[in-house]
Amino acid sequence: MIRCEGVGLRYGAQGSAEILRDLDFAVPEGGFRWLLGHSGAGKTSLLKLLYLAIRPSRGTLRLFGTDAARAPRASLPRLRRRIGVVFQDFRLLPHLSAFENVALPLRIARRPEAEVRSDVSEMLRWVGLSGRLDALPAELSGGEQQRVAIARAVIARPSLLLADEPTGNLDEPQAERLMRLIRELNRLGTTVVVATHNEALVARHPAPALALDHGRLVSGG
């Protein structure tokens, strides 16, 4: 599903420091990986590579059997549609209601309206937001926005789910509920990578981890 070989990433010009260095790891289809490391270690940067927002400066990154580092730009949207992303800063569309934000991936996939209505309502009920369907993101608390972002990432049953600190704004019972949702999706076949600082959550859900330290993989490679 994911294979990184000798991947390096720098944001600046040639010669600037590499933020990620010599990454070698693979995540099999249906696998689950925690992504761990101190603040600034490179977790979000690695996730950006995996959702194809940026390309590695060197090395190869294969996703779904495609060489993502070299694939033509025009082929990227098709790959991205198979990936659900929970962004660290949510990135909800500010002019759309909670319902419409979550519905977006289903509308892009041209699902019938009746199916969109029932799937989105059910998903928002699951994350405890049935009463807030019509609220705009600005009218929601941080934890509520995070739950909308999670619902949007998983609603279309992606092949790959990438979640960046998905419990950062949630209390422990909500974080636990979210983990149950993610594990259920994983059990049904979705490959999952979750970046987190929540040690209690990791301890309750033991799974293999990719651990970064200053841009290098110190375990999980």
Tokens for 152?
């949007």
Q: Which residue has the tokens 């928002």?
A: 124
- Binding residues for ligand ATP, how many (CB under 6 A)? 11
For ligand ATP, the binding residues in 158-217 under the rule CB under 6 A are: none
Q: Which residue's CB is nearer to ligand ATP, number 158 or number 168?
A: 168
Residue 34 pairs in a beta bridge with 194, 209
**Residue number, 34 or 99, with CB nearest to Mg ion:** 34
Q: In this complex, which beta carbon is closest to ligand ATP, that of residue 5 or of residue 18?
A: 18
Q: Which of residues 34-53 bind ligand ATP (CB under 6 A)?
A: 37, 39-45
Please spell the DSSP secondary structure of 3-65, one letter per residue.
Answer: EEEEEEE-SSSTTSPPSEEEEEEEE-TT-EEEEE--TTSSHHHHHHHHTTSS--SEEEEEETT
User: Binding residue for Mg ion (CB under 5 A) from 8, 18, 44, 169?
Assistant: 44
d(CA 52, CA 57): 13
Q: Give strand pairing partners of 3.
A: 26, 62
Number of Cβ atoms within 10 Å of the Cβ of 147: 30
Q: Does 132 bind ligand ATP (CB under 6 A)?
A: no
Show the binding pattern over residues 86-105: x = contacts Mg ion (CB under 5 A), - = does not: --x-----------------
Q: Which entry of ligand ATP, Mg ion, none binds 19, CB below 5 to 8 A by partner kind?
A: ligand ATP
Report the C-alpha gap between 207 and 186 in whole angstroms. 12
19 touches ligand ATP (CB under 6 A): yes
Using the minimum distance from each CB to ligand ATP, give the nearer residue, 40 or 189: 40
Give the residues lining the site for ligand ATP (CB under 6 A): 11, 19, 37, 39-45, 88
What are the residues binding Mg ion (CB under 5 A)?
43-44, 88
